[in-house]
Amino acid sequence: MMKFHGTTILAVTYNGKMAIAGDGQVTLNNSVVKHHARKVRRIYNDLIVVGFAGATADALTLSEKLETKLERYNGNLIRSAVELARDWRTDKYLRRLEAMMIAVDATQMLLISGNGDVIEPDEGAMAIGSGGIAAHAAATALLKHAEALGLSARDIVEQSMKIAASVCVFTNDIVTIEEFG
């Protein structure tokens, strides 16, 4: 059976600004089949950005479900995320979806998973996907020195994604970035 691998999604908040990035690589077994995939996108009147890792169709389904929840709860990201996670965990169809999602707005970032998790990070960075550990580690280090280095949230995301791409074979350096603030 052929299986799609990897993605790296990274969200960073710094100095009142938020940036979220996703790499563009899609692999099928041991082959790269796409370099410019868009795994980060705006939803709900461009007020929310979601980045997803996992099976593409599953991730898009979850993105649509989140947007429906946002419409129902007037853009309340936390309430919508909790309701999505609850449905995802309990619904027979949704339970089979294989993806994770980071959702951000101008003030908060959340990781949403099929285990029923809705997690807001303590620090200013959150990452998922095959290169997520490398991207998160790089962002955490850069956040500690961002003021001295003169970095913005976007700079931190760009540099961290380059580092992740240099160590993760399922992550490339063709990155989509969305920002708030």
68 is catalytic: no
Containing domain of residue 39, as a range? 4-172
**The model's pTM:** 0.92
Q: Which residues, 6+ apart, have CB-to-CB distance to 128 below 8 Å?
A: 7, 8, 9, 51, 53, 100, 101, 102, 111
Q: Could you tell me if residue 177 is inside a domain?
A: no
How many domains does one find in the chain? 1
Do 119 and 110 form a contact (C-beta atoms < 8 A)?
A: yes
Q: Could you tell me if residue 178 is inside a domain?
A: no
Q: Could you tell me if residue 181 is inside a domain?
A: no
Q: Could you tell me if residue 121 is inside a domain?
A: yes
* CATH, residue 163: 3.60.20.10
- pLDDT value of position 5: 52
Q: Which of 7, 8, 171, 176 is catalytic?
A: 7
Q: What is the pLDDT of residues 24-67, one digit of tens each?
A: 998 887 888 899 989 999 999 999 999 998 877 777 888 899 99
| Positions of the chain with pLDDT under 50 | 1-4
